[in-house]
Structure 1
């Protein structure tokens, strides 16, 4: 009898240990997702939007502009194209309109204030990508490097998805409402729920949408060179943007850029 009780106790201990290990593994996986900067937050935020809806909207837009599939559209975009400032604003505004509809479906707000800054040196503002490339976001002084363009990727604009403190969804300009005390210093802190992700989409002229989970700061995810244009101005590690897993967003940027190629 004692032997049976002993065997039973050992069996219970083994089962309990296995259950605990599974729980720990699950928790470590969740923590890894939260801290991994290359994890696509947007793919989770918009998970409530059905795949069928994304596909039907994307296909309808693509066919209305050009009778070709998505892969053909990607190949057709000229990655060496340089866009004028007017073209950049038009492209970014069109993407913003699309993002407004998507944000509404996802229960979020969206704004195009993806980047701005206060006083700084005369260096370039840029973003890093996970493959180590620099994306030019703003050139403050063209005389640096005598106007030579050393960037292979340039920003066309961008958007910011966030969850509003006031329940606003879709395209929103609440960040500029005077009652919300707008300023460069406060960024999105007066309108965005701090417990929810603030996600930036950077539209690049290589036809790719890059993503970054940032903070309420307008400069979150962006860095500035020194006055000579050197990239080692920042003493700490720079957190990069990564290629967004939001396939609908990638398709939308491709569709827009096809108008200019």
Structure 2
């Protein structure tokens, strides 16, 4: 009888231990799932925040960026324009540039659409030495097209710099050594509708601007939106 009670006690204790282990495993699993869900949610929120800037806000940001550049580049005897990109009728797909942070979308026709790119422009700008001695905002650049490029407004022997203000809070730039053959589409390429771009990769790589003041200004500005 004592032996039977002993066996019964062992069985009961084993069941209790087994139940406790299963409960702990389930709790650990639920905790892991919760952490994964939190991480996924956080990643989605971060991705969402990058593409949630409205067109209305982009116009406000563009205005403030141009105002800042006009003021600071005037001291460098440079002209400033928002005519940094234009594709004309060369392609009906989305255009992009290569950056240190990945491909950045500069035009959106939903072919293939924002999800195909790592980054997206909020606005952009271009600076150059005016052939008319203009500093700050250059109103003469408003009607530029890909046909004549910047040669009608810029000193073709001086550098032309394009700036891309991305939705990750960073400013990317690329400086063309002279403006003779630089057009609105220079630095960019169209993405085909299958998210492939054979023979259409941009020849330039935009890097985070060395202009710390500009980066700091833009980073703080974007936080408002």
TM-score (norm 2): 0.71
Partner of 1:221: 187
Structure 1: distance between partners of 2:168 and 2:139: 28
Cα RMSD (Å): 2.0
Residue 27 of structure 1: aligned partner: none
TM-score with structure 1 setting the length: 0.62
Counterpart Cα distance in 2 of 1:244 and 1:113: 19
The answer to whether structure 1 residue 243 and structure 2 residue 208 are counterparts is yes
* Conserved? CA contact 2:145–2:183, under 8 Å: no
1:257 match: 222
Q: Which residue of 2 aligns with 1:196?
A: 158
Alpha-carbon separation, structure 2, partners of 1:205 and 1:148? 12
State the alpha-carbon separation in 1 of the partners of residues 155 and 202 from structure 2. Answer: 27
Q: Distance in 1 between matches of 2:117 and 2:202?
A: 20
Q: Distance in 2 between matches of 1:95 and 1:148?
A: 23
Report deviation, 1:238. 2.8
Contact 1:162 1:199 in 2 (8 A): yes
1:13 is aligned to none
Q: How far apart are residue 139 of structure 1 and its match? A: 1.8
Cα deviation for residue 196 of structure 1 reads 0.7
What's 1:161 paired with? Answer: 127
Equivalent residue pairs, number: 174
Contact persistence 2:98–2:202 (CA under 8 A)? no
1:185 pairs, out of 134, 147, 165, with 147
CA contact (8 A) 2:145 2:184 kept: no
Using the alignment, how far apart are the partners of 2:183 and 2:147 within structure 1?
A: 7
Match of 1:71 in 2: none
SS state at 1:190 partner: coil
Question: Any stretches of 5+ residues in structure 1 without a counterpart?
Answer: 1-77
Residue 109 of structure 1 pairs with residue 93 of structure 2: no
1:123 touches 1:228 (CA, 8 Å); kept in 2? no
1:16-73 residue CA offsets vs partner (Å, 9 max, x unmatched): xxxxxxxxxxxxxxxxxxxxxxxxxxxxxxxxxxxxxxxxxxxxxxxxxxxxxxxxxx
Decide which of 88, 91, 100 is 2:61's aligned counterpart: 91
Aligned to 1:138: 107
Gapped runs of 5+ residues in structure 2?
A: 1-45
- The structure whose RCO (Cα within 8 Å, separation 6+) is larger is 1
Residue 237 (structure 1) shift: 6.5
- The CA distance in 2 between the partners of 1:160 and 1:237, in whole Å, is 17
**1:187-234 Cα deviation digits (max 9, x unpaired):** 211010011110011000000000011343001111111243313342
Separation in 1, partners of 2:85, 2:222: 21
> In the alignment, which residue of structure 1 is the partner of 2:167?
205
Residue 34 of structure 2 corresponds to none
Corresponding residue number in structure 2 for 1:51: none
Q: Assess if the C-alpha contact under 8 Å between 2:108 and 2:114 holds in 1.
A: no
Which structure's CA Rg is the greater one? Answer: 2
- Partner of 1:168, secondary structure, is coil
Stretches (4+) displaced over 4 A: none
